[in-house]
Amino acid sequence: MDASRFAKDFLWGVSTSCYQIEGAAAEDGRSPSIWDRFARTPGKVVNGETGDIACDHYHRYPEDVALMAELGVDAYRFSTAWPRILPEGTGAVNEAGLAFYDRLVDSLLERSIEPWICLHHWDLPAVLEDRGGWRNRDVAGWFADYTHAVASRLGDRVKHFFPFNEPNVLMWLGHATGEHAPGHADREAALAALHHINLAFGRSAQAIRAAAPDARTGQIISLQPCEPGRDDPAHRQAAETIDLFWNLAMVDPILLGRYPEPLADMLAPWVKPGDLETIAQPINLFGLNHYCRMFCYPDPESPFGARIGETPSGPTTDMGWLIDGTGLRDQLLRLVERYGKQVFYVTENGGAFPDGAGADGRVDDRDRIAYFEDYLSNLLEARDRGVDIRGYFVWSFMDNYEWSLGYAKRFGIVHVDYATQKRTPKASFDWLQDLIARSRAA
Ligand code: FCB
């Protein structure tokens, strides 16, 4: 790919999240999260797999950071674990838990890699779910206190803090369909969680600004164009419904200061005076996690009458997700059209492929390289059409725990042998290393 098309200061990064890679689930005072609990609930995760050990990043981070340095990335986006830092969910800070992130941040900075921290990637302390979790309005205050604990400790060195990763996925899969923790499949739960998560975003952004005034913040969200699974009115309606909940519900209130109709009516029981002002915090950047166009189907059993379903045609990844980089281009263009100029970063993009190691131990993942080239070309096309896009983070740095699908789906550019914890860079790692180096030299 033509590296000279990227600006010299285009930011290259890799992404992960704590529950998916850290392991050390019961170490140094960490309490269980809703994912530890969900994974142990029969039938929720393939093979009942858990994040107990995962990639053992908690112990092996020096080796992982060294590999990132070899790759040549500018930034590493990871998440901090609320149950490590505040094992009771609220109240006393667990020094040992926070100290891990201190060590990680310092080791990144020693290698000139910027830490980009997400404060919440879906691992709510289980003790807080017992108090109503995201369905309880108090969660906004709990989250602001947790934000303060992290940002006041690390804000002298960390210049990028984000309240959430994909709050829309947490709301939809966690509270409307029940496919993810905490496993609610309920209309009221989804609507309450939707508003309280937004409120928590606002309170957390305020806490970040107070504790780390020179840090940048913003929303990091999964946005995917919604297409009807078939071309008929019922499917078109389903696509509109999913679009409302997935793409608009957690961006409109931040950037437009209001909920889109008909959501505003549905949420009326939960929205109190002043809430929309709290949510509409000024942001410095917009993080887009993008994978594919999503296909939508009517579903009378779902609380909102619609579901995300199978890809009707075209090439797909091991997740069954369509491979088509024009979705990224169109999503970026739509964001500018709806919200005006913003500073964009792609904070996650990548594909799962059934790649096994060859006889020499190498993974020759050409399909992943082709995927990246397709999406990056479309990113450049959006840039050429006026989108201010300044960086790109690969999902994921290494193979990891893919939520309810366990360890079967591999997204990494570094292969992980879970039996030995051996890391082996794949061909896509070499490809990215070369692209980064050429984009800087060009
Ligand atoms: C995103 C999540 C991330 C990972 C990728 C494949 O929705 O943020 O944790 O599961 O999908």
For the stretch 285-330, pLDDT in tens is 999 999 999 999 999 999 999 999 999 999 999 999 999 999 999 9
Whether 389 has a pLDDT exceeding 80, the answer reads: yes
| Per-residue confidence (pLDDT) for residue 171, from 0 to 100 | 98
With a 6 Å cutoff on the Cβ, whether 352 touches ligand 1 is no
First to last CA, the chain: 12
Whether 357 has a pLDDT exceeding 80, the answer reads: no
Atom of ligand 1 nearest to the CA of 403: 10
| Per-residue confidence (pLDDT) for residue 82, from 0 to 100 | 99
| Per-residue confidence (pLDDT) for residue 174, from 0 to 100 | 98
Written as one letter, the residue type at 11 is L
- Ligand 1 pocket mutation pick from 172, 173, 289, 407 by most atoms within 8 angstroms of CB: 289
Whether 359 has a pLDDT exceeding 90, the answer reads: no
Span 365-382, pLDDT tens digits: 999 999 999 999 999 999
The CA 269 to ligand 1 mean position distance, Å, reads 31
Averaged pLDDT for residues 53-81: 98
The CA 92 to ligand 1 mean position distance, Å, reads 30
With a 6 Å cutoff on the Cβ, whether 222 touches ligand 1 is yes
The CA 426 to ligand 1 mean position distance, Å, reads 20
Residue 94 pLDDT class (50, 70, 90 cuts) = very high
With a 6 Å cutoff on the Cβ, whether 169 touches ligand 1 is yes
| Per-residue confidence (pLDDT) for residue 110, from 0 to 100 | 98
Averaged pLDDT for residues 358-367: 86
Residue 8 pLDDT class (50, 70, 90 cuts) = very high
> What span, in angstroms and rounded, lies between the C-alpha atoms of 38 and 196?
21
With a 6 Å cutoff on the Cβ, whether 400 touches ligand 1 is no
With a 6 Å cutoff on the Cβ, whether 147 touches ligand 1 is no
Averaged pLDDT for residues 8-18: 98
Atom of ligand 1 nearest to the CA of 402: 10
The CA 347 to ligand 1 mean position distance, Å, reads 11
With a 6 Å cutoff on the Cβ, whether 395 touches ligand 1 is yes
| Per-residue confidence (pLDDT) for residue 355, from 0 to 100 | 83
| Per-residue confidence (pLDDT) for residue 360, from 0 to 100 | 77
Whether 143 has a pLDDT exceeding 90, the answer reads: yes
Which phi and psi angles does 339 have, rounded to 5°? Answer: -115, 0
- Ligand 1 pocket mutation pick from 14, 19, 78, 403 by most atoms within 8 angstroms of CB: 403
Residue 206 pLDDT class (50, 70, 90 cuts) = very high
Residue 29 pLDDT class (50, 70, 90 cuts) = very high
| Per-residue confidence (pLDDT) for residue 312, from 0 to 100 | 97
Residue 362 pLDDT class (50, 70, 90 cuts) = confident
The share of the chain scoring above pLDDT 90, in percent, equals 98
What is the pTM assigned to this prediction?
0.98
| Per-residue confidence (pLDDT) for residue 158, from 0 to 100 | 98
| Per-residue confidence (pLDDT) for residue 159, from 0 to 100 | 98
Whether 358 has a pLDDT exceeding 90, the answer reads: no
| Per-residue confidence (pLDDT) for residue 23, from 0 to 100 | 98
Averaged pLDDT for residues 130-137: 98
Q: Is 401 in contact with 408 (CB distance < 8 Å)?
A: no
> What span, in angstroms and rounded, lies between the C-alpha atoms of 344 and 393?
12
Residue 239 pLDDT class (50, 70, 90 cuts) = very high
Q: What is the dihedral of CA 204, 210, 212, 213, to 10 degrees?
A: 120
Tally of residues, the chain? 442
| Per-residue confidence (pLDDT) for residue 122, from 0 to 100 | 98
| Per-residue confidence (pLDDT) for residue 356, from 0 to 100 | 77
- Catalytic residue positions, numbered: 166, 348
Averaged pLDDT for residues 275-294: 98
Residue 219 pLDDT class (50, 70, 90 cuts) = very high
The CA 179 to ligand 1 mean position distance, Å, reads 14
**DSSP 8-state secondary structure symbol assigned to residue 296:** E
Atom of ligand 1 nearest to the CA of 411: 6
Strands (E), 51-196: 75-79, 114-118, 160-162
- Ligand 1 pocket mutation pick from 19, 348, 353, 400 by most atoms within 8 angstroms of CB: 348
Q: Is 38 in contact with 45 (CB distance < 8 Å)?
A: yes
The CA 293 to ligand 1 mean position distance, Å, reads 15
| Per-residue confidence (pLDDT) for residue 92, from 0 to 100 | 96
Q: How many helices (H) and strands (E) does the chain have?
A: 16, 13
Atom of ligand 1 nearest to the CA of 20: 9
| Per-residue confidence (pLDDT) for residue 149, from 0 to 100 | 98
| Per-residue confidence (pLDDT) for residue 161, from 0 to 100 | 98
Averaged pLDDT for residues 267-283: 98
Q: Is 430 in contact with 415 (CB distance < 8 Å)?
A: no
The share of the chain scoring above pLDDT 70, in percent, equals 100
Compute the mean pLDDT over every residue in the chain, rounded to the nearest whole number.
97
Closest CA to 10 of 365, 295, 345: 345
The CA 417 to ligand 1 mean position distance, Å, reads 20
Averaged pLDDT for residues 196-214: 98
Contacts 24+ apart (CB under 8 A), 176-180: 176/245, 176/302, 176/303, 176/304, 177/302, 177/307, 179/404, 180/38, 180/122, 180/403, 180/404
Averaged pLDDT for residues 329-337: 98
